[in-house]
């Protein structure tokens, strides 16, 4: 019977549904939350609001979880508003926000401040309106309510602040939806607080578009009357201090700007959702979007670095919690799995997906990533990936042509460029239970910051369970960068699609070195580093250069070797000495002279082998430019730039260490 009643409701046959559901609710054994809620809904649609509220109150006692309570309280608030009972509606809406204060209930938050204003409950307006100011759908009406609240409480400084923020909304081209009645309200607000100068400035701005409107003439006339009235002050005596010219950039809390409205709105929603989950953002943070490209900047001068973004780890959507696919238009789809490690971040994942699609990120990634353009060029790809220890990881780039690249390959590459690894201990401290040593996840908002080698990295603060970034130091308006990982230009090309020419060091290509003592050294380029206790004291600041080392018989496995820049060229020889001493079971290198000769021998092999690899890759790319089907010019230029970067780096290292490369 309950299902039959639901079917009738879906057909908008509320009277028939009400007859059935009443029968259910008259019997104790069939009385339930679902039946009471359905009866309340039927009564509401039939405009029997008093009975609807009574049934809603009764269903509240049967609610088994917060989601059910949230729905009932929302319905109760609607009933009370229809019954002209604002205090009761306000109380119900406050309970709604106590359960869920996120963007999911933004409409309820707005209803709350609207009703609170109507009964003069100005504290509730002020306390609950600030969050809505940052959301495009509600910012205009909320700022108007806040401004009028400030006027009614004679807080003219606050009123001026809110009205000035409304001026920004009116003057911003993307807010062409501002209604004339709201514009009039702003003009009247300035007039009420006697900020006649600002009223005149706004009127001048509006002249071209609204001069023909009757209200324009009325405002113009009242301002003209003030000019002609002897002794009239143009500004209120106790007016707030003059403010700088207001733009989107210097309004506190107005963080996101751009020319793609859908992207800007989604980032705003994402930021608010994160704040509702405990994230915090410096007021100087600016997120600037242009045609889908995004950068993060800082609006203030900083002589000392300050906290810029602080995002709790429980906000991070974990990759293994979702199934990803593409629709026919190449838009990303994300579907949560039944069993999730971090279900709290499900709404964040939804907003991230919307943001990526608003920027058309997947289609753009496929078009702009240089390695996808090399599909069908197996010889070039194979040679390029030979510069990495794990070439099979990049098998997804192989395809007969760019058009044949699979959705799975595209998704894997895109997610790989966005994901960050979190340790099991960091996750556990945030209430996320994983059996894996690491879990990869998206880092919302934070990952909008662009990469630059040498910048501060992402700071995972395990004890606080948060991911942090900092402003750095510099002038107002500067772009803020982070160092994604300890990646050299080859890795940034493969993972992110660009050559990072700011790198001060590079990994050697995988190679095998033969020592004079008969040891065979297999050099990889993984990221594993030595334990801090194994790093010489004078090199603790460069501990990332020191590899993990394992000896098995005559074979020595080295996780990586870094070729440093000119500033710390001595580090490579120190690393080679560290490796040799660590594996010297026979005492080959007790004699310092023998150690130096071995280092010279290994260094020569290492530098020569790297030079040979990069010269060969450069020659291959140049030859592919001459064929019947030449490489795409842009991709070829990137690859040649990559080769020349490494060759120049090797040359600078050699000159700095007085090591002569073979010509």
pLDDT tens, position by position, 122-158: 889 998 998 888 787 888 889 999 999 999 888 888 8
- Calculate the average pLDDT of the chain: 85
Indicate whether 113 belongs to any domain: yes
Rounded alpha-carbon distances, angstroms, from residue 57 to 63, 111, 468: 10, 20, 44
Indicate whether 662 belongs to any domain: no
Copy the structure tokens of residue 136. Answer: 């495009």
pLDDT at residue number 231: 47
Band of residue 616 on the pLDDT scale cut at 50, 70, 90: very high
pLDDT tens, position by position, 544-559: 788 889 999 999 999 9
Q: How would you write 593-614 as a 3-class SS string?
A: HHHHHHHHHHHHHHHHHHHHHH
Indicate whether 56 belongs to any domain: yes
pLDDT at residue number 554: 93
Helix, strand or coil, per DSSP, at residue 308: strand
Whether 310 and 217 map to the same domain: the answer is no
Q: How would you write 477-507 as a 3-class SS string?
A: CEECEEECCCCCHHHHHHHHCCCCCCCCCEE
Instruction: Answer whether residue 527 shows pLDDT above 90.
Output: no
* Least trusted range by pLDDT, from 19-28, 326-335, 596-605: 19-28
Copy the structure tokens of residue 254. Answer: 């107005």
**Beta strand ranges found along 535-589 (DSSP E):** 549-552, 555-558, 562-563
| The last residue of a domain, from among 438, 471, 496 | 496
Whether 269 and 230 map to the same domain: the answer is no
Burial (CB < 10 A; 0-12, 13-18, 19+), residue 226, is middle
Whether 38 and 162 map to the same domain: the answer is yes
Separation CA 347–CA 565 (nearest Å) = 44
Core vs surface per residue 616-642: b (16+ CB within 10 A) or e: ebbebbeebeeeeeebeeebbebbeeb
Band of residue 177 on the pLDDT scale cut at 50, 70, 90: low
pLDDT tens, position by position, 17-52: 898 888 888 876 778 888 888 899 999 999 998 999
Whether 482 and 549 map to the same domain: the answer is no
Whether 216 and 332 map to the same domain: the answer is no
Whether 610 and 558 map to the same domain: the answer is yes
Separation CA 464–CA 178 (nearest Å) = 42
Whether 460 and 551 map to the same domain: the answer is no
Name the β-bridge partners of 514: 520
Band of residue 639 on the pLDDT scale cut at 50, 70, 90: very high
Kindly give, in sequence order, each residue whose CB lies less than 8 Å from that of residue 603, ignoring residues fewer than 6 positions away.
572, 573, 576, 659
Any idea which residue has 């005596």 for tokens? 237
Name the β-bridge partners of 474: 302
pLDDT at residue number 219: 87
CATH number, domain with residue 403:
3.90.1410
CA neighbor of 658 nearest in space, from 526, 529, 566: 566
Contact 434, 424 (CB under 8 A): yes
pLDDT at residue number 256: 87
Indicate whether 502 belongs to any domain: no
Burial (CB < 10 A; 0-12, 13-18, 19+), residue 264, is buried
Indicate whether 286 belongs to any domain: yes
**8-state DSSP, 286:** E
Indicate whether 661 belongs to any domain: no
Separation CA 17–CA 44 (nearest Å) = 13
Instruction: Answer whether residue 249 shows pLDDT above 60.
Output: no
Whether 296 and 417 map to the same domain: the answer is yes
Helix, strand or coil, per DSSP, at residue 455: coil
Domain housing 434: 256-496
Separation CA 72–CA 66 (nearest Å) = 10
| The last residue of a domain, from among 249, 267, 283 | 249
Core vs surface per residue 132-163: b (16+ CB within 10 A) or e: bbbbbebbbbbbbbbbbbbbeeebbebbbbbb
Between these two residues, 175 and 188, which has the higher pLDDT value?
Answer: 188
Indicate whether 501 belongs to any domain: no
Kindly give, in sequence order, each residue whose CB lies less than 8 Å from that of residue 313, ignoring residues fewer than 6 positions away.
422, 426, 427, 429, 430, 432, 460, 465, 466, 467
Parallel/antiparallel/unpaired status of strands 256-258 and 285-290: parallel
Whether 421 and 520 map to the same domain: the answer is no
Instruction: Answer whether residue 235 shows pLDDT above 70.
Output: no
Kindly give, in sequence order, each residue whose CB lies less than 8 Å from that of residue 155, ignoring residues fewer than 6 positions away.
none
Contact 140, 181 (CB under 8 A): no
| The last residue of a domain, from among 249, 277, 311 | 249
pLDDT tens, position by position, 273-313: 998 888 888 888 999 988 878 899 998 888 777 888 989 99
Indicate whether 123 belongs to any domain: yes
Between these two residues, 301 and 238, which has the higher pLDDT value?
Answer: 301
Provide the domain count of the chain. Answer: 3
Kindly give, in sequence order, each residue whose CB lies less than 8 Å from that of residue 571, ignoring residues fewer than 6 positions away.
539, 542, 545, 562, 564
CATH number, domain with residue 76:
1.25.40.10
Q: Which helix (H) or strand (E) holds 521?
A: strand 520-523
**8-state DSSP, 147:** H
Separation CA 246–CA 251 (nearest Å) = 7
Kindly give the interhelix angle for 136-152 and 261-276, rounded to the nearest 10 degrees.
Answer: 60
Burial (CB < 10 A; 0-12, 13-18, 19+), residue 47, is exposed
Whether 440 and 379 map to the same domain: the answer is yes
Separation CA 469–CA 432 (nearest Å) = 22
Whether 289 and 223 map to the same domain: the answer is no
Any idea which residue has 């071995």 for tokens? 598
Copy the structure tokens of residue 655. Answer: 């000159």
Any idea which residue has 């939806």 for tokens? 177
Whether 314 and 460 map to the same domain: the answer is yes
Helix, strand or coil, per DSSP, at residue 181: helix
């Amino acid at each position: 019977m309950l299902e039959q009643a639901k079917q009738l409701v879906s057909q908008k046959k509320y009277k028939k549904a009400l007859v059935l559901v009443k029968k259910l609710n008259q019997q104790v054994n069939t009385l339930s939350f679902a039946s009471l809620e359905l009866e309340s809904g039927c009564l509401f649609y039939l405009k029997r609001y008093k009975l609807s509220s009574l049934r809603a109150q009764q269903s509240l006692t049967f609610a088994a979880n917060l989601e059910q309570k949230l729905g009932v309280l929302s319905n109760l608030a609607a009933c009370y508003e229809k019954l002209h009972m604002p205090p009761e509606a306000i109380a119900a809406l406050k309970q709604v926000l106590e359960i869920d204060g996120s963007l999911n209930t933004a409409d309820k938050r707005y209803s709350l401040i609207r009703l609170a204003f109507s009964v003069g409950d100005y504290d509730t307006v002020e306390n609950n309106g600030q969050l809505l100011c940052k959301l495009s759908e509600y910012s205009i009406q909320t700022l108007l309510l806040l401004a009028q609240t400030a006027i009614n409480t004679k807080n003219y400084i606050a009123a001026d602040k809110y009205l000035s923020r409304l001026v920004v909304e009116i003057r911003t081209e993307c807010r062409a939806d501002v209604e004339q009645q709201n514009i009039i309200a702003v003009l009247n607000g300035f007039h009420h607080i006697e900020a006649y100068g600002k009223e005149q400035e706004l009127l001048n701005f509006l002249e071209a578009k609204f001069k023909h409107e009757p209200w324009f003439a009325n405002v113009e006339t009242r301002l003209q009357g003030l000019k002609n009235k002897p002794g009239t002050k143009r500004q209120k005596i106790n007016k707030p201090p003059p403010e700088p010219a207001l733009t989107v950039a210097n309004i506190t809390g107005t963080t996101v700007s751009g020319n793609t409205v859908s992207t800007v709105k989604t980032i705003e929603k994402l930021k608010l959702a994160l704040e509702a989950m405990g994230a915090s953002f410096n007021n100087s943070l600016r997120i600037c979007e242009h045609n889908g490209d995004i950068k993060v900047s800082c609006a203030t001068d900083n002589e000392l670095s300050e906290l810029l973004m602080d995002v709790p780890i429980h906000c991070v959507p974990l990759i293994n919690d979702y199934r990803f696919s593409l629709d026919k238009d190449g838009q990303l789809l994300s579907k949560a799995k039944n069993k999730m490690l971090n279900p709290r971040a499900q709404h964040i994942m939804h907003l991230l997906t919307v943001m990526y699609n608003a920027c058309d990120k997947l289609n753009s990634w496929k078009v702009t990533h240089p390695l996808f353009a090399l599909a069908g060029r197996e010889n070039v790809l194979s040679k390029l990936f030979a510069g990495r220890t794990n070439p099979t990881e990049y098998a997804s780039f192989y395809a007969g042509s760019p058009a044949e690249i699979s959705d799975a390959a595209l998704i894997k590459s895109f997610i790989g460029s966005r994901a960050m690894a979190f340790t099991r201990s960091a996750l556990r401290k945030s209430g996320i239970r994983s059996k894996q040593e690491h879990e990869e996840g998206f880092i919302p908002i934070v990952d909008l910051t662009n990469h630059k080698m040498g910048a501060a990295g992402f700071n995972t603060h395990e004890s606080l369970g948060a991911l942090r970034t900092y402003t750095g130091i510099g002038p107002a308006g500067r772009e803020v960068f982070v160092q994604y990982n300890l990646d050299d230009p080859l890795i940034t090309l493969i993972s992110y699609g660009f050559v990072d020419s700011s790198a001060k060091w590079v990994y050697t290509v995988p190679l095998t070195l033969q020592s004079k003592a008969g040891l065979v050294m297999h050099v990889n380029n993984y990221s594993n580093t030595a334990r801090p206790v194994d790093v010489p004291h004078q090199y603790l600041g460069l501990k990332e250069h020191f590899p993990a080392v394992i000896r098995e018989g005559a074979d020595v496995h080295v996780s990586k070797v870094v070729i440093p820049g000119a500033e710390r060229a001595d580090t490579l020889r120190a690393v080679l000495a560290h490796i040799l001493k660590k594996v010297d079971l026979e005492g080959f290198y007790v004699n310092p002279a023998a150690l130096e000769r071995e280092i010279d021998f290994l260094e020569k092999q290492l530098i020569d082998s790297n030079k040979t690899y990069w010269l060969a890759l450069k020659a291959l790319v140049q030859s592919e430019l001459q064929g019947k089907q030449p490489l795409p010019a842009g991709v070829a230029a990137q690859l040649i730039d990559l080769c020349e970067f490494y060759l120049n780096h090797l040359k600078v290292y050699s000159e700095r260490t007085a090591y002569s490369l073979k010509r």
